[in-house]
Structure 1
Amino acid sequence: MLKVASSKEESEEATSEVEIALLSLNNCQKFADIEKELYLEKMTEIIKYHQEHQNLTHLAYQSAWGFLIDRFYYYGSLEKAIVDELHPVREAIKELYELERNINWMKKEEEMKSEKCICTINRWLKAIKIYFSCIVYGKEGLCDLIARIVSIEGNED
């Protein structure tokens, strides 16, 4: 699944396969016996590549983060890689802002596609909850993240 998720091909079919692979990986049991060395480098590469090229869907990107953050809870040694290299707080703020903007636009257009954005926001909030329960250092940006979450809560009307 990591090989499929690492695809950089930009066709619609490849994008769909990458999203499914990342969703599947994210839904693997947290306790599944996966060696850290097998996924940490690849998943970090996938996230960094997306940060530069914006090649993943919102749901696929959240799934990659969800996979890492779920394991972060059980492997504290991931903290340095996740916090120092990938900047989860900054990325969560950016993604939540973009998803909130999409929902507001979709409401104006009266489209039902906003449900996928809402689902992705909920998945980000779940990952953030796990992240907050594990964080030891790297707390910069947390106030901005909390403000973004409150903003989303305020726009649910």
Structure 2
Amino acid sequence: MAQSLQSGPVLRLVNADAALEQRPSRVATTPDLRRAAGSVATENRAAAGLSALDARWVFAVQVARTLDGGKAAVLVPEKRRELVAGAVRMGLRAFDANLVIALVQDAARRGESPLSRETEFCLKLVKAPSDEGSEGWNWMLIVGMALLLAGGALAGLMIWIRS
């Protein structure tokens, strides 16, 4: 048995030398293909952005509209409390709402648009709102529908028995 292990490799590549001589197709470098690849890359970047309905983005827009003082990006405490309360109603945690406020203020203070691509990228790092409360409603809906279906079946059975 020791002799068979030392006899040489069991696996070998077929036509390994032919693969070294082959060149890539010219079709792979045509301008149309490059243009198509560029458009796919553009679409991928666009799809990677936040949805206009994302709570983090909606909240960032609200914060940007509320900021006063131009480059100073001042937010008075009363307005901040109102904004954070609204963010909590949208499902964000108070901590995450304050992070969004800080990101938007920082962009404005650096002289950038408070809703720039960089701000959008940073917003993705903030935890998205959770649907913790919706799970209970889902179960209640399922139980309610099951009870309604059972009641309908019972009524149908009663009508069938009487006839």
Which band: TM-score by shorter chain? under 0.3
Structure with the greater alpha carbon radius of gyration: 2
Higher helix residue share: 1
Higher relative contact order (CA 8 A, sep 6+): 1
Tell me the TM-score normalised to structure 2 length.
0.21
Tell me the TM-score normalised to structure 1 length.
0.22
